[in-house]
């Protein structure tokens, strides 16, 4: 199985290509939908990586796809601007999940 990147910027795509991951740059919702559908048709793709910015801009599209399909796995990754999450997001996640304060 291979990974496929859908990015909103060329820098992230270039870095991932250096690591051996193919992908494309998209900016519009329709373009994103077509690209995801195309990647899902390729049975060799097991993981689709998306930049967090695309996840923030089009959450309804990604949620719809995640609910309908189990494969490939959609994963949001930070881009060159860093993550949009708080610095303690892992600790907060654990606190919310199990109710244990770390």
* Among the listed residues 44, 32, 20, the one whose alpha carbon sits nearest the alpha carbon of residue 76: 32
Whole-number Å distance between alpha carbons of 38 and 44:
12
Q: What is the pLDDT of residue 101?
A: 62
**Cut 0.75: pTM above it:** no
Q: What is the pLDDT of residue 82?
A: 59
Over 90: is that where the pLDDT of 74 sits? Answer: no
- Domains (ranges, CATH) in the chain? 2-98 (3.40.50.10580)
Write the pLDDT tens digit of every residue in 46-61. 888 888 888 888 888 8
Whole-number Å distance between alpha carbons of 36 and 41:
9
Over 90: is that where the pLDDT of 25 sits? Answer: yes
């Amino acid at each position: 199985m291979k990974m496929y990147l859908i990015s909103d910027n060329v820098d992230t795509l270039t870095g991932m290509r250096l690591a051996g991951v193919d992908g494309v740059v998209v900016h519009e919702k329709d373009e994103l939908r077509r690209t995801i559908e195309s990647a899902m048709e390729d049975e060799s793709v097991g993981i689709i990586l998306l930049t967090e910015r695309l996840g923030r801009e089009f959450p309804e599209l990604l949620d719809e796809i995640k609910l309908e399909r189990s494969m490939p796995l959609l994963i949001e990754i930070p881009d060159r601007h860093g993550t949009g999450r708080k610095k303690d997001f892992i600790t907060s996640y654990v606190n919310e999940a199990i109710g244990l304060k770390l």
